[in-house]
Structure formats: C-alpha cells, structure tokens
Amino acid sequence: KAGVTQTPRYLIKTRGQQVTLSCSPISGHRSVSWYQQTPGQGLQFLFEYFSETQRNKGNFPGRFSGRQFSNSRSEMNVSTLELGDSALYLCASSSALDSYEQYFGPGTRLTVT
C-alpha cells in the first residue's frame, strides 16, 4: 500500500506571496491532518479534515486554510506569506476506524525569503 505523499517536497517563496501544498493520503483513509514543524515550536496542529469537512482547527491565523476533496486528497493554502511561515509542513492520514494511528508523509519544506 502506498504511503502518504506530499507535493512539492521543497518550495521557495517570497514574502507576500501565497502557496498551495498538496497531500494524498493512504488509499482508503478519509482523515487528513496538517502540522507545522519548526525548530523553535516543534509540531503544531493546523487542522483536520474528514470526508471533505474540517473537523478540527489549531490556533493559526486565517491566512492558513485548507480543503479536502471527494477522493480524500487535501490541500492547504497559506496567503500573504511571512518569514515566520518557513517550516516543514507535514500531512498525516488515518482511517475512520483506527483514527488514533496517524501515518505521516515526508513533508514539504517551505522557505520564505
């Protein structure tokens, strides 16, 4: 079974731009969560989607948004990028029946200059 895939793996953007990251969960998984990982803050929860609905949201500004499609693929968008948005963005998927186990993708490394 293929794992969680994230594209692109690396991205360089300029302050003020916007960016869209993509995540394809493990086949059959309907829950997708997003996390931001930085050296200073560790892993912070952004949001969780299940069957195209946002179930849960972390404490991030409205510049961070996401969505999930009918095939469970998910995208997250960050508008008006700031230097502090530079981070590794991790996506994790889980099945509806065993949602305590999350399977992580390799992440997208975003650098904002």
Partner 1 sequence: GNSVTQMEGPVTLSEEAFLTINCTYTATGYPSLFWYVQYPGEGLQLLLKATKADDKGSNKGFEATYRKETTSFHLEKGSVQVSDSAVYFCALIAPRDTGNQFYFGTGTSLTVIP
Chain positions contacting partner 1, by CB under 8 A = 4, 31, 33, 35, 41-45, 48, 50, 55-56, 58, 90, 92, 99-107
In whole angstroms, the minimum distance from the beta carbon of 8 to partner 1 comes to: 15
Q: How far apart are CA 94 and CA 63, in angstroms?
A: 25
In whole angstroms, the minimum distance from the beta carbon of 10 to partner 1 comes to: 11
Q: Which is nearer to partner 1, 8 or 16 (CB)?
A: 8
In Å, how far are 3, 13, 52, 78 from 109, measured between CA atoms? 18, 11, 25, 13
Q: How far apart are CA 56 and CA 107, in angstroms?
A: 20
Q: Which is nearer to partner 1, 15 or 55 (CB)?
A: 55
Q: How far apart are CA 25 and CA 92, in angstroms?
A: 7
Q: Which is nearer to partner 1, 58 or 79 (CB)?
A: 58
